[in-house]
């Protein structure tokens, strides 16, 4: 079993080399949280021979290691980080290069330029407003001011407006009009009219409005982008979870290869503590598998020669040699990943509130502007005045408030949830969450705590078995040892893979493990159990059970009071699922489901027109999570489930689900209120602009005023007497 540790694993496939032979290696490190972690990890890795530099990015969890020449060993780097107590995965160099946040960068630059433009153009336009209060600038000074404003505003507006222009163009080419179309037309028309007014020595030019408008809109757009950016890494982290290294056995030598390179028929070694890389059959060796990720089953599955292995299962106790029967793309985990991708695609088709508003708003405003121009000209205003009024209609009705209405509310809501320990991945997630009418829970790790706990055992029996339990690495033995606390450890311990541990306690030979190993015939396979006994003595049985979370029953009762129906979908056996369902008070439950069953059931709900909230934590839930209308995962969930979920709650309490739904509904209400405000504002402002009552000063006031109203409504504290 220790053979795998002494053999050298060749991981050169994961190093990117430049011409001089210097290499770069990337690891995904999980568990690092503080300055001490950075210090420990970087220091230890830098001290390795052949390592030039190491840098841990705490935000993304990536450790970049520079290697000097050939003598550096990637395997040592991984081992060093893991020896410090963090989980480390090698990153496929091909994957690492792809992730660059270009859009966020462009928005930030555009926001900076628009902010600069909006601030500086005021220097020249504020003096011009003085004319409105009887402090008229003389004609040539006013023109000079407008020319200077034009020099600052025009390049800034054209540059900062690019994200809007591009999106508007793309949308027009598809024959649709999104919110960016009126924005682009408004900005460009405003600039044109302002130039012509300046050349014709007119009194009103709107250079400041064009830039300020973009600045306010870009704030909303950037906030929205930041919310979404986190969700992008889903596929990447799922790949990392697949343990990208598979150990191929050729003529007794183990060689590390990327999982993507495994071919059918390859002989692979799975060491204890590793995940099974691809689907396959056991050739030799004995062990126990933790299938919780794949099936949600809490009981451990013993495997021996000939047994079938599923990719993603965790090998617990013994070294296995297996034959690959599928390539990585065909394996269970990859199939789930494909389902997740499909789910993400259907989700991106979801029409957001702001876009629904745009579909109403765009035609109305453009018709109004066109009518103003045509009507004004026909009624004898002259083309110049008519165009000026049409531009004024577009400016004052331009959707500053509409653009901010939703992102401002969602940022406020997600920061409120963040303080309660719930992370929100995107604004659209909150909108979808507000609409749910049916809640589906996974059992293991969601309704329950997700770890076996010893039940109904007298303290003196626990103390008797504890010395052996402390010597074992098996999860059940660990749970037993945790119950017993600190104490003596048995001597001469030998752990038999998949069977149990044997050793001397106070000179007496004892065994702890499976029923047959301890010398008991029978045993109830349904229960998670451990047997203990001294040689030629009575055998004792310890039963473990996954306990429901403390507030599970209360949460489900409250969900019902909120008008939601509740159901359990589990991959575990019917017995334990039924017990838990009764305990927390859920009448509808289904057991023994595969990941694909779960996804299909969620799909079925969708075709029936139900809006499902899925709460799950395992790899077996990932596909259902990404297909559901909205989804949540606990912080202890596997990375894939956390990435597939819209929201992640980090606390121990299931009540976070209620908190999230409540906040999402409140956010939806506020967003609708904000739409109401902007509609009201437009109903007043548009006719005023049509009748020529708007000047640049009033336009600036109205624009920032309406945006402020919307922002303040988003930020106002929640009214306390509302129903809890």
Partner 1 sequence: MNIVLFLAPFSIGLGAMGLLAFFWTMRSGQYEDPKGDAARILYDHLEDKPPQD
Footprint of partner 1 (CB under 8 A) = 34-35, 38-39, 42, 53, 55-60, 64, 105, 108-109, 112-113, 116, 119-120, 123-124, 141, 144, 148, 152
Instruction: Give CA–CA dist 487/470, Å, rounded.
Output: 8
Instruction: Give CA–CA dist 636/251, Å, rounded.
Output: 40
21 burial type by CB count under 10 A (0-12 exposed, 13-18 middle, 19+ buried): exposed
Work out how close the CB of 116 gets to partner 1 at its nearest, in angstroms, rounded to a whole number.
4
Question: Are 244 and 143 contacting, i.e. CB atoms less than 8 angstroms apart?
Answer: no
Residues 6+ apart with CB under 8 A from 705: none
Instruction: Give CA–CA dist 325/338, Å, rounded.
Output: 19
Helix axes 619-627, 595-607, angle to 10 degrees: 10
Question: Are 121 and 170 contacting, i.e. CB atoms less than 8 angstroms apart?
Answer: no
Nearest Cα neighbor of 247 from 9, 459, 582 is 9
Edge-to-edge strand ranges of the sheet holding 630-634: 422-424, 647-649, 630-634, 612-615, 438-441, 565-569, 589-590
Question: Are 273 and 502 contacting, i.e. CB atoms less than 8 angstroms apart?
Answer: no
Q: Give the CA-trace dihedral at 78, 84, 89, 95, to 10 degrees.
A: -90
Work out how close the CB of 611 gets to partner 1 at its nearest, in angstroms, rounded to a whole number.
35
Work out how close the CB of 49 gets to partner 1 at its nearest, in angstroms, rounded to a whole number.
20
Q: Which is nearer to partner 1, 226 or 590 (CB)?
A: 226
Q: Which helix (H) or strand (E) holds 642?
A: helix 639-644
Q: Which is nearer to partner 1, 107 or 637 (CB)?
A: 107
Known catalytic membership, residue 237? no
Residues 6+ apart with CB under 8 A from 273: 314, 315, 316
For 640, how many CA atoms within 13 A lie in the half-sphere containing its CB? 26
Question: Are 584 and 447 contacting, i.e. CB atoms less than 8 angstroms apart?
Answer: yes
Q: Which is nearer to partner 1, 85 or 112 (CB)?
A: 112
Q: Which is nearer to partner 1, 111 or 269 (CB)?
A: 111
Work out how close the CB of 112 gets to partner 1 at its nearest, in angstroms, rounded to a whole number.
5
Work out how close the CB of 599 gets to partner 1 at its nearest, in angstroms, rounded to a whole number.
34
Q: Which is nearer to partner 1, 99 or 305 (CB)?
A: 99
Work out how close the CB of 237 gets to partner 1 at its nearest, in angstroms, rounded to a whole number.
17
Instruction: Give CA–CA dist 173/170, Å, rounded.
Output: 5
214 φ, ψ to 5°?
Answer: -65, -40
Q: Which is nearer to partner 1, 141 or 604 (CB)?
A: 141
Nearest Cα neighbor of 630 from 595, 660, 601, 600 is 660
SS3 state of residue 16: strand
Question: Are 238 and 344 contacting, i.e. CB atoms less than 8 angstroms apart?
Answer: no
Work out how close the CB of 119 gets to partner 1 at its nearest, in angstroms, rounded to a whole number.
7
Work out how close the CB of 220 gets to partner 1 at its nearest, in angstroms, rounded to a whole number.
19
Ranges of beta strands (E only) in 429-527 are: 438-441, 448-455, 491-496, 500-505, 508-513
Q: Which is nearer to partner 1, 115 or 280 (CB)?
A: 115
CA-to-CA dists, residue 598 to 39, 611, 628, 631, angstroms? 43, 15, 10, 13
Count Cβ atoms below 10 Å from residue 384 Cβ, excluding itself. Answer: 14
Instruction: Give CA–CA dist 646/216, Å, rounded.
Output: 27
Ranges of beta strands (E only) in 591-673 are: 612-615, 630-634, 647-649
Q: Which is nearer to partner 1, 94 or 488 (CB)?
A: 94
SS3 state of residue 249: strand
Work out how close the CB of 192 gets to partner 1 at its nearest, in angstroms, rounded to a whole number.
23
Q: Give the dihedral sign, CA 715/709/360/175.
A: negative
Q: Determine which one of 73, 224, 442, 662 is catalytic.
A: 442
User: In this structure, are strands 267-270 and 320-324 parallel, antiparallel, or unpaired?
Assistant: antiparallel
Work out how close the CB of 525 gets to partner 1 at its nearest, in angstroms, rounded to a whole number.
47
Instruction: Give CA–CA dist 286/305, Å, rounded.
Output: 7
Q: Which is nearer to partner 1, 132 or 148 (CB)?
A: 148
Nearest Cα neighbor of 293 from 662, 641, 692, 682 is 641
Question: Are 411 and 223 contacting, i.e. CB atoms less than 8 angstroms apart?
Answer: yes
Work out how close the CB of 715 gets to partner 1 at its nearest, in angstroms, rounded to a whole number.
23
Q: Which is nearer to partner 1, 83 or 109 (CB)?
A: 109
For 631, how many CA atoms within 13 A lie in the half-sphere containing its CB? 30
Work out how close the CB of 118 gets to partner 1 at its nearest, in angstroms, rounded to a whole number.
11
Q: Which is nearer to partner 1, 3 or 39 (CB)?
A: 39
Nearest Cα neighbor of 615 from 597, 598, 594 is 598
Q: Which is nearer to partner 1, 7 or 64 (CB)?
A: 64
Instruction: Give CA–CA dist 241/383, Å, rounded.
Output: 66
Work out how close the CB of 544 gets to partner 1 at its nearest, in angstroms, rounded to a whole number.
37
Instruction: Give CA–CA dist 40/51, Å, rounded.
Output: 15
Nearest Cα neighbor of 11 from 26, 21, 30 is 26
Rg (C-alpha) for the chain, rounded Å, is 32
Q: Which is nearer to partner 1, 212 or 472 (CB)?
A: 212
Ranges of beta strands (E only) in 251-405 are: 253-258, 267-270, 280-284, 287-290, 301-303, 308-309, 314-315, 320-324
Q: Which are the catalytic amino acids? A: 442
């Amino acid at each position: 079993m220790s053979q795998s540790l002494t053999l050298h694993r060749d991981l050169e496939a994961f190093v990117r080399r430049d011409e001089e032979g210097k290499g770069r290696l990337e690891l995904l490190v999980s568990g690092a949280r503080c300055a001490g972690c950075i210090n420990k990890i970087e220091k230890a890795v830098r001290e390795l021979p052949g390592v030039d530099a190491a840098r841990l990015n705490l935000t993304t969890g990536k450790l970049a290691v520079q290697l000097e020449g050939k003598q550096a060993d990637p395997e040592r780097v991984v081992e060093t980080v893991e020896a410090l107590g963090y989980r480390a995965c090698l990153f496929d160099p091909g994957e690492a290069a792809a992730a660059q946040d270009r859009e966020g960068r462009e928005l930030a630059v555009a926001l900076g330029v628009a902010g600069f433009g909006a601030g500086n153009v005021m220097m020249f336009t504020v003096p011009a407003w003085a004319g409105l209060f009887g402090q008229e600038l003389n004609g040539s000074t006013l023109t000079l001011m407008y020319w200077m404003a034009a020099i600052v505003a025009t390049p800034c507006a054209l540059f900062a407006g690019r994200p809007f222009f591009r999106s508007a163009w793309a949308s027009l080419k598809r024959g649709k009009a999104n919110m960016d179309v009126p924005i682009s037309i408004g900005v460009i028309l405003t600039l044109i009219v302002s130039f012509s007014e300046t050349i014709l020595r007119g009194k009103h030019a709107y250079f400041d409005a064009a830039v300020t408008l973009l600045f306010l809109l870009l704030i909303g757009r950037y906030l929205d982008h930041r919310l979404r950016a986190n969700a992008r890494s889903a596929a990447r982290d799922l790949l990392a979870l697949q343990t990208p290294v598979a150990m191929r056995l050729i003529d007794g030598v183990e060689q590390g290869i990327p999982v993507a390179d495994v071919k059918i028929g390859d002989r692979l070694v799975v060491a204890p503590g590793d995940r099974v890389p691809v689907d396959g059959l056991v050739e030799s060796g004995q062990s126990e598998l933790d299938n919780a990720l794949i099936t949600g089953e809490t009981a451990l599955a013993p495997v021996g020669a000939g047994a079938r292995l599923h990719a993603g299962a965790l090998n617990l106790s013994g070294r296995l040699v297996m034959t690959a029967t599928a390539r990585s793309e065909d394996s269970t985990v990859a199939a789930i990943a494909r389902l997740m991708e499909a789910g993400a695609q259907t989700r991106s088709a979801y029409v957001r509130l702001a876009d629904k508003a745009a579909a109403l708003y765009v035609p109305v405003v453009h018709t109004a502007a066109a009518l103003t121009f045509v009507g004004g000209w026909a009624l004898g205003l002259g083309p110049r005045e008519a165009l000026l009024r049409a531009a004024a209609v577009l400016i004052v009705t331009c959707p500053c408030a509409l653009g901010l209405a939703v992102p401002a509310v969602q940022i406020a809501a997600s920061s409120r949830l963040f303080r309660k320990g719930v992370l929100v991945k995107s604004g659209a997630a909150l909108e979808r969450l507000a609409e749910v009418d049916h809640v589906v829970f996974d059992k293991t790790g969601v309704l329950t705590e997700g770890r076996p706990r010893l039940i109904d055992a007298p303290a003196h029996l626990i103390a008797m078995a504890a010395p052996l339990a402390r010597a074992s690495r098996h999860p059940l033995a660990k749970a037993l040892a945790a119950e017993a606390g600190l104490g003596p450890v048995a001597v001469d311990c030998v752990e038999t893979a998949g069977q149990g541990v044997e050793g001397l306690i106070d000179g007496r030979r004892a065994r702890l493990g499976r029923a047959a190993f301890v010398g008991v015939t029978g045993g109830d396979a349904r229960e998670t159990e451990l047997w203990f006994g001294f040689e030629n003595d009575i055998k004792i049985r310890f039963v473990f059970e996954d306990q429901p979370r403390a507030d599970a029953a209360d949460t489900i009762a409250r969900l019902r009071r909120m008008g939601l129906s509740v159901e359990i979908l589990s991959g575990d056996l019917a017995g334990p699922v039924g017990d838990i369902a009764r305990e927390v008070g859920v009448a509808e439950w289904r057991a023994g489901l595969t990941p694909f069953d779960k996804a299909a059931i969620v799909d079925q709900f969708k075709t029936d027109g139900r809006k499902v909230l899925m709460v799950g934590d395992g790899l077996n839930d990932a596909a259902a999570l990404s297909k559901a209308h909205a989804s949540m995962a606990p912080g202890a969930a596997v990375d894939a489930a956390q990435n597939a979920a819209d929201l992640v709650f980090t606390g121990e309490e299931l009540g976070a689900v209620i908190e999230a739904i409540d906040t999402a509904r409140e956010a939806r209400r506020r967003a609708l209120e904000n739409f109401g405000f902007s509609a009201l504002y437009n109903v007043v402002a548009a006719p005023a602009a049509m009748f020529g009552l708007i000047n640049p000063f009033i336009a600036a006031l109205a624009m920032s005023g309406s945006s402020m109203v919307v922002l303040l409504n988003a930020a106002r504290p929640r009214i306390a007497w509302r129903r809890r």
